[in-house]
Amino acid sequence: MDPTITVAQEFPDTHFVHISGFKTAPNVSTGFGRMYQPRYLSGLVAGSMTKSNIIGYVAAFPIPEVIRGINAFTLGVKEVNPDAEVRVVWTNTWFGPPEEKEAAEALLDQGADVIAQHQDTTEPQKAAADRGALSIGYDSDMRAFVGDTVLTSPVWNWGPMYLMFAEQVMNGTWETQQFWGGMDTGVVDLAPLSPMVPEDVASLVEEKKQAILNGSTDVFCGPLVGQNGVEVLAEGQCLTDEQMLSMDYFLDGVVGEAPGEAQPLEGKAAPAPESVGSTGELPKVAFVYVGPVGDLGWSYAHDQGRLALEEMGVETAYSELVPEGPDATRVIRDYAAKGYDLIFATSFGYMDSVIEVAQEFP
């Protein structure tokens, strides 16, 4: 990090991007990804697959990046398996095949039947496979190198971020920034699941992934309890970026040592709950018109909006010349009963009909 800043000062017309750092300059940006998001998803898989309820985690250094990933992973584990625990062994190296293998074997000796890691080799996964255990990879899809015992891997895809910075330089739109992209940017993701993962688990993972992508949920939202029993965050709040970036403590469910202790925090408001009936898929939409769609007036204008939705791939239906009162109630109820997710009633006089049917189909 410091060498980047030093050289950047010597070459002010050259642009620099430092991966994972936090220091910037007019010609220096930083870039990283919210790896904690796919870490959480991989925890759902690990927690669902363990039989011993002991999951091992081979970790590099006790810094916020790694601690944040362990905590996110553990939240996923505990969500599906409250009885499970995540045991951490520190290797104090990013790339140390012998140390990684030794740490994994120590965790396996303690009864772990799933091994996760924040390291830069496949040694923990190989050690698990050699002992008949399962594992969660990291960096790339490690199933390609070890086999189906690697249930999935939180993975990096640096291409979108590299392209973004390159286009800024090419187009003369460079603005110094601290980029921290989530799964919605494509910089981080979860590798395809092993065929060993049951369909119900795969469905849950996909559901949670879509919730992260559409912003209806976040990983570090209350109630959060620290390893020491202290409530870190109350329900209805989520950690801020600053709080996540400085995380030095473990949450409940982690067995191991971290440099800090959990303390009560005041976070930001949690995302609004996902809309009723939302599936993350394109909805079926119905329109009820008081006039004819060919009148070049009120109903025609609304129908142009319906056609625009169809061009986006949305399935639509409509009824025209629907009188206000009982007829409108019947038509609206019929669409609701047929499973339409969203119904537009386009006349002021439809108001009571909409309220009546909405109560029947919450």
pLDDT at 280: 57
pLDDT at 98: 98
What is the Cα–Cα distance from 167 to 161, expressed in whole angstroms? 10
CA 56 from chain center: how many Å? 22
Q: What would the mean pLDDT of 21-30 be, rounded to a whole number?
A: 92
Nearest-10 Cα torsion for 156, 157, 159, 161: -60
pLDDT at 274: 54
Q: Say which DSSP state 348 is in.
A: G
- For residue 277, pLDDT over 80 is answered with no
pLDDT at 345: 87
Q: Cβ(118)–Cβ(58) under 8 Å?
A: yes
Which residue has better confidence, 280 or 1? Answer: 1
pLDDT in tens, 148-168: 999 999 999 999 999 999 999
| Domains of the chain with bracketed CATH | 2-33+158-185 (3.40.50.2300), 36-153+191-269 (3.40.50.2300), 284-360 (3.40.50.2300)
What is the Cα–Cα distance from 326 to 26, expressed in whole angstroms? 66
E-strand stretches of 153-226 = 154-156, 178-181, 188-190, 224-225
- For residue 93, pLDDT over 70 is answered with yes
Residues in the chain, how many? 362
Q: Cβ(226)–Cβ(232) under 8 Å?
A: yes
- The percent of residues in the chain predicted with pLDDT above 70, rounded, is 97
| C-alpha neighbours within 13 Å on the C-beta side of residue 317 | 15
pTM: 0.77
| C-alpha neighbours within 13 Å on the C-beta side of residue 48 | 21
Q: Cβ(334)–Cβ(275) under 8 Å?
A: no
Q: Which of 136, 150, 141, 58 is nearest to 96 (CA)?
A: 58
- For residue 283, pLDDT over 80 is answered with no
Lowest mean per-residue pLDDT among 59-68, 102-111, 116-125, 326-335: 326-335
Read off the pLDDT band of 14 (50, 70, 90). Answer: very high
Identify the burial level of 24 via C-beta atoms within 10 angstroms of its C-beta, where 0-12 means exposed, 13-18 middle and 19 or more buried: middle
Q: What would the mean pLDDT of 179-202 be, rounded to a whole number?
A: 97
Q: Which of 220, 191, 248 is nearest to 65 (CA)?
A: 248
Q: Say which DSSP state 66 is in.
A: H
What is the Cα–Cα distance from 276 to 274, expressed in whole angstroms? 6
pLDDT at 1: 80
CB atoms within 10 A of CB 290: 19
pLDDT at 296: 66
pLDDT at 309: 84
What is the Cα–Cα distance from 72 to 220, expressed in whole angstroms? 7
In what helix (H) or strand (E) does residue 306 lie, and over which residues does it extend?
helix 298-311
Q: Which two tokens stand for residue 220?
A: 């570090």
The mean of the pLDDT values for the chain is 93
Read off the pLDDT band of 350 (50, 70, 90). Answer: confident
pLDDT in tens, 202-227: 999 999 999 999 998 899 999 999 99
- For residue 92, pLDDT over 60 is answered with yes
pLDDT at 314: 82
pLDDT at 295: 65
Output the DSSP codes for 241-298. HHHHHT--SPBTTEES--SS-------EEPPPPPPTT--SSPPEEEEE-SS-TTSSSH
- For residue 31, pLDDT over 60 is answered with yes
pLDDT at 302: 80
pLDDT at 272: 65
pLDDT in tens, 233-275: 999 999 999 999 999 999 999 999 999 999 999 998 888 655 5
Lowest mean per-residue pLDDT among 38-42, 111-115, 247-251, 311-315: 311-315
Q: Cβ(349)–Cβ(328) under 8 Å?
A: yes
Q: What would the mean pLDDT of 316-322 be, rounded to a whole number?
A: 93
